[in-house]
């Protein structure tokens, strides 16, 4: 996909951050891998005001290849994840309410529901706390996401990745929905966790789930 097409898709999806309830105001950021590095949303610009020319392209050294605005303050985290995960091409970082609430406890979302395994692991891990926009936060996120398509960021929010922008956005929504269900289950007396074997079986089932032979 061309950079212009990626820019247009970034604008389209980040414009849904507020309406989806995944982020509010200017919080959160979205990026997509490009031929020379990655395209990322700028810092501090309301989503409704973004144009394709406002999306910044960076190389993996952090140099601006194209764009006049400052990139998201979380660009080091995006860079670190792209460098560590060759299997993904897009990253969505949001401060969704329920996922952020769980992240503030500095605990993972455990094996309370089989849908946790759609993200590739038997839990949704929580990365150790670090100040936003730092290399330390980037390193913590990379470690937490080694075997998962998403993680919580302690006292911060969540980050989800995917093979494309639509998938990263979908996974961010899955994390928020699971976080809400987990909090409700705690209020109802606490969930009964699924076994390790059951979660492993569901991880395997999701590798082919929803895929049609055409």
**Candidate list 9, 57, 74, 174, residue with the active-site label:** 74
| Helical H segments across 86-208, by residue range | 97-103, 135-144, 165-187, 196-206
Neighbours of 210 (CB within 10 A): 6
Reply yes or no on whether 74 is catalytic.
yes
Strand partners of residue 42: 71
Residues with Cβ < 8 Å from 181, sequence gap 6 or more?
112, 113
Nearest to 49 by CA among 19, 73, 14, 74: 14
Nearest to 109 by CA among 178, 41, 45, 63: 178
Q: Which residues are catalytic?
A: 74
């Amino acid at each position: 996909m061309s950079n212009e097409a990626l820019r247009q898709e970034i604008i389209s999806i980040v414009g849904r951050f507020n309406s989806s309830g995944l982020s509010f105001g200017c919080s959160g950021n979205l990026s997509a891998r490009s031929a020379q590095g990655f395209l990322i949303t700028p810092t501090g610009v309301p989503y409704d005001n973004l144009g394709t020319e406002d999306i910044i392209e960076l190389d993996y050294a952090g140099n601006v290849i194209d764009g006049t605005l400052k990139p998201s303050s979380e660009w080091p985290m995006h860079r670190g994840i792209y460098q560590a995960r060759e299997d993904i091409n897009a990253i969505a970082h949001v401060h969704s309410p329920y996922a952020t609430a769980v992240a503030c406890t500095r605990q993972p979302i455990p094996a309370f529901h089989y849908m946790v395994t759609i993200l590739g692991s038997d839990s949704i891990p929580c990365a150790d706390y670090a100040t936003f926009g730092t290399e330390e936060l980037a390193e913590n996120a990379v470690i937490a996401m080694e075997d998962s398509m998403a993680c919580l960021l302690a006292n911060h929010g969540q980050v989800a990745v995917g093979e494309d922008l639509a998938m990263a956005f979908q996974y961010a929504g899955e994390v928020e929905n699971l976080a809400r269900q987990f909090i409700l289950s705690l209020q109802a007396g606490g969930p009964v966790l699924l076994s390790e074997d059951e979660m492993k079986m569901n991880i395997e089932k999701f590798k082919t789930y929803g895929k049609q032979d055409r």
